[in-house]
Structure 1
């Protein structure tokens, strides 16, 4: 089952965010049993070569790879898709116009206007015909909902043909509400729940970043189906700090 099929199946997809950008870490995490990996380029210094190396390391493990691009831009999206990820995550989709642009950039005709290349995704030309035929059905398109305007426009955004899932970016959502210094404000969660409710109604998988197992369980019970269970840097820091503290106490 590819990632797009999993998103439409109603099953839960467990993921992890990678920000460090080494193929070794990508390969290690991909062998742990996660359903998908979120390769983060919006807030990192990753290049296309770095993305490519991670995708090559993940290939064959059964774990699917999603790349978050840094903007809703046709050239950026085209070049990342040509590296061969299983899905693409597009930030700051705040309106119907943004959503339609994103689909246009991620899908081949007739649904979109994605350009045809001879890169890794197409087997460097060896699998060109089969990839062009299957890509629209097999490569997942996911939007970030991370601004109050996106929440206000969520019903229109979710109606765009070709969308497979959304992930709520609660931190940026809080910032757009001028609540970045008050992240526990219940007003933020009210907006999060509006997006979740709209996704349930539209039959679109809704995702979230969760910080610990208890939060993950709570989100699953609420109906979230696309989860990222933390990030490499946070898990590394937490584990290292726990070891250090334990040894010092001993």
Structure 2
């Protein structure tokens, strides 16, 4: 597997999928389709530590990089995802530079950070600790979500935090927290997304975006966004199943 973090910060355009169905079978099916990466949704889906390990194994069976969106900012949640073998984490609701620096510290071993050393799956259950320690700080991807008014206000300072690799825009939460919903709120939301993107790119950060549909990608690419999560497995399953049923009923 190539160094996923290097591809992200290049920045190389990448298309991934959220995995919200809490079972490794769904991950294995998604991984087999050839995405650039997968992101387990530990924020909004019921994925515990044991299940996360199983899902990460399923992605790695097809040599697909996998990151995990953790529930919040707790260092234990971040370390748990990484100890399970994830190639990185996506930390939600980062609104200040201090929160961004804390996320960096949680993903790195000393002296750079505060991550604890342990015999987790990533370190071969203890047998490969020295090898893992030698490369983890340089290979682990840290993406943080800019999805609040605070993130918009503080984006200049957030974007300069060393160790943050991707600033990922959550348009749904950003629209809700800015009061920019629906067609009437579109100009305000677009202005916020444009500002976050331009400031982050000027600071040398890759920028990510959630897209409900692949049709949205080209427009965001023109803005300078390169790291995409296209829907999630549950939505894709529902869309495909609904389309199949509708197609079948055409012959009734």
TM-score, normalised to structure 1's length? Answer: 0.96
Distance 1:122 1:19 in 2: 26
Q: Indicate if the aligned counterparts of 2:179 and 2:185 stay in contact, CA closer than 8 A.
A: no
Paired with 1:189 and 1:127, the residues of 2 have a C-alpha distance of 46
Name whichever of 114-123 and 173-182 sits farther off.
173-182
Deviation string 1:186-216 (CA, Å, 9 cap, x unpaired) is: 1011101111101210111101011223211
RMSD: 1.4
Deviation at 1:180, TM superposition (A): 4.3
Contact 1:171 1:183 in 2 (8 A): no
1:178 aligns with 2:183: no
User: What CA distance in whole angstroms lies between the structure 2 residues aligned with 1:182 and 1:173?
Assistant: 15
Deviation at 1:239, TM superposition (A): 0.9
Which residue does the alignment assign to 2:36? 35
Aligned length: 250
Cα distance between partner residues in 1 of 2:233 and 2:109: 33
For residues 185 and 220 of structure 1, what CA distance do their matches in structure 2 show?
18
Which residue number corresponds to residue 54 of structure 2? Answer: 53
Seen in structure 2, the aligned counterparts of structure 1 residues 72 and 183 have a Cα distance that, compared at 3 Å, is farther
Contact 1:42 1:69 in 2 (8 A): yes
Moved more, 6-15 or 137-146: 6-15
- How far the C-alpha of 1:132 sits from its partner, in A, is 0.9
Q: Which residue is equivalent to 1:65?
A: 66
- Provide the residue aligned with 1:202 in structure 2: 203
Distance 1:183 1:150 in 2: 22
Partner of 1:126: 127
Q: Distance in 1 between matches of 2:183 and 2:84?
A: 39
Task: Give the unaligned 5+ runs of structure 2.
Answer: none
Aligned to 1:22: 23
- Give the SS at the match of 2:16: strand
- Does the residue aligned with 1:76 lie in a helix, a strand or coil? helix
Shift of 1:100: 1.1
Q: Aligned partners of 2:183 and 2:75: how far apart in 1?
A: 35
CA positional deviation for 1:183: 7.7
- Structure 2 vs 1, CA of residues 29 and 183 (structure 1 numbering), >3 Å: closer, same or farther? farther
1:63-212 equivalence runs, <5 A: 63-180=64-181, 185-212=186-213
TM-score (norm 2): 0.95
- CA displacement 1:114-167 (0-9 Å, x = unmatched): 111101011111110011111010010110111011011111111111111111
Alpha-carbon separation, structure 1, partners of 2:75 and 2:182: 34
Alpha-carbon offset, residue 249 of structure 1 = 2.1
| C-alpha contact (below 8 Å) 2:30/2:233 kept by paired residues | no
